[in-house]
Amino acid sequence: MQLFGIPNCSTVKKARDWLANNGVAYEFYDFKKNGVNHALLESWLSQYPWEKLVNRAGMTWRNLSDAEKAAVIDANSALNLMLEKTSVIKRPVLVKNGKILSLGFSETAYQEFLK
């Protein structure tokens, strides 16, 4: 199991704490340090619409210019933005065998998938 995110994100911290407290083994993948690749994002976009994967409530999105925001109109343009600015990706992303189990953190959802 892999948990994708950035270590200083409070939501990622909650997910990591929950996983640790519940004895769930996982590998942490840091977007900031390791980046993401085209194939990974395409896989995620085949499972979730781009509107869910792009965190439009976060600071990275809010700090984009109006032109940059307006340019994100489909999966391809969202993919390019996520490759360029990994912190715009909704996080954490919990993945098992290439399948997204959870996008974001919800204790209820984690209990459902992992207990």
Catalytic option among 9, 53, 81, 93: 9
CA 96 to chain centroid: 14
Compute the distance between CA of residue 57 and CA of residue 99 in angstroms, rounded to an integer: 24
Q: Is 9 a catalytic residue?
A: yes
Residue 23: phi and psi, rounded to 5, are: 65, 30
Compute the distance between CA of residue 17 and CA of residue 46 in angstroms, rounded to an integer: 29
Task: Reduce the DSSP state of residue 103 to 3 states and report it.
Answer: strand
Write out the two tokens for 25. Answer: 């083994």
Q: Check if the beta carbon of residue 82 is closer than 8 Å to that of residue 89.
A: yes
Name the residues annotated as catalytic.
Answer: 9
